[in-house]
Chain A
C-alpha cells in the first residue's frame, strides 16, 4: 500500500550544508507516526518540504498521492497542520478564527468543532494574542481537527506545553481515530511526549533517517539481556554488532540485543561466556529502545 506521505531521495541544503539528506520516508495510512530526532536534525525542514512551504534541493515528496509542489486547496482541505512556530492571526478571537477557517473546508463538522472548543475550554471572545501558548496551540488544533482531516501533521506540538494541556491536546488528536481515514504525523525531540501514542517511528540524525519501522517490530527485535557471571570474568570481547551497550558491573552482565531471537541470543551468549548463568531477556519500552539507540549512535 502506498503511504499517505512518501518521500524519495528528498534533500535540502542551505548554504552548502545538507539539512536533509536523501530521505526516503513512508508514512502508512492509519498510523500515528512519530518523527523523532534532536533539535536541528532536519525534522522541521522535512515537514516544510512535504507541506510545500519550502522547495527541496533534490528529490520529491508526495502527500495523499499528490506531489508536494502540486498540492492544491483540494488536498489542503484534507490536511491539518499545526506547528510550534506557525504564524496565526493574533488579532482574531477564537470564534473569529474558527469562522474564518470554516469556508475553506467542505468537510467542516460544526458539532465536532463545538465539542472540541468546549473540551479545550477555550475562551471564544478573547483575541488570540491575549491567550497563553497552550491556549493558542489548542485553538489552532481545534480549527485543524474540525474538518476531520485525513492527515494531521504536527510539528513539535508539545514543546512548551504543560502536562495537562499536552494531555488535552492528545485526547483531541485521538478523536480522529473515530473516522474512516486518518493518519497522524507528529515530530518531536522528546520520546516521552509520544511514547504511548506512536505505532510507527522514524528517527533522524544529522539530516538522515536512521530508522523507520513499526513500533511492534522494534519491540519484537529489541530485548534487554541480563545475566549473572562469576566475579572477575572477562566481558565478552567479540560481540555481534547487534549487541549494544554491553556492560559488566561486578556479577552482572547486561546488554541490549537489537536482533533478538528467542533462545538464539541466549545460546550465543552461553557459547561466548560458558560461565554465565540466569540469562534473562525482557521486552523494552519504546522509550528505552530510543534511549539505547540515542546512546549507541550519539543522537
Chain B
C-alpha cells in the first residue's frame, strides 16, 4: 500500500500526476516528516508505472526538499521548509493566472470557479483531520 493515492487521468503527464498526488498527501498531512517513502521499485510496481518515471518522481521530490535521502533506509519525508516569498508570489501570480485562463477558456464564471476552489480547499482540510 502506498501512503498516497493517484487517480490517473488522461491529459496530464504521468510524472506530473504522481508528483501532484505526493504533494497533496503532504499538504493533507497523510505524509508527515520522518515517514518512510516508497522505493523506486515499490512505486513502479504499485502504480504500474515505468521504473524510470518512478525514479524521476523521487529525484524531483528530493530536489524540491520534500524528501530526504537517508543512507541505509532510503528516502524519508523531509521537514516542510519555510515557504519563501518568491514561492508565494509564484503561486499567486502564475498558478492562479493559469487557472483563471483555463476557466475562462471554457466560459466558467468567477462564482463557479470560486465555489470549486472552496470545495477543493475544504476537501483537503477534511482529509487533514
Contacts and interface: CB of A to CB of B under 8 A. Distances in A.
Contact of B48 (A196, A199, A286): A196
B11 interface: yes
B98 A288 contact: no
Residue from B13, B16, B101 whose CB has the most chain A CB atoms within 10 Å: B13
Contacts of A196: 8, 14, 47-50, 53
Residue from B12, B16, B48 whose CB has the most chain A CB atoms within 10 Å: B48
B59 interface: no
Interface in B44-58: 44-45, 47-53
B17 to A, nearest CB: 9
Query: Chain A binding site: helix, strand, loop or mixed by DSSP?
Result: mixed
A278 interface: yes
Given A197-B50, A199-B52, A252-B105, A174 B44 contact: yes
Interface in A52-92: none
Contact of B53 (A167, A171, A199, A287): A199
Nearest to B14: A196
A197 B104 CA distance: 34
Contacts of A180: none
Contact of B51 (A171, A177, A252, A286): A177
A286 B105 CA distance: 23
A257 interface: no
Interface string A163-181: 0000100110011011000
Given A278-B101, A283-B16, A288 B10 contact: yes
B118 interface: no
Contacts of A228: 101, 104-105
B41 interface: yes
B41 A283 contact: no
A30 B44 CA distance: 14
Contacts of A283: 12-13, 16
Contacts of B47: 196
Contact of A285 (B14, B45, B53, B101): B14
Contacts of A197: 48-50
B13 A219 contact: yes
Interface in B39-82: 41, 44-45, 47-53
Interface of B: 8, 10-14, 16, 41, 44-45, 47-53, 98, 101-102, 104-105
- The list of the 8 closest CB pairs from A to B, nearest first, reads A177-B51, A196-B49, A199-B50, A170-B48, A199-B52, A174-B45, A196-B14, A287-B10
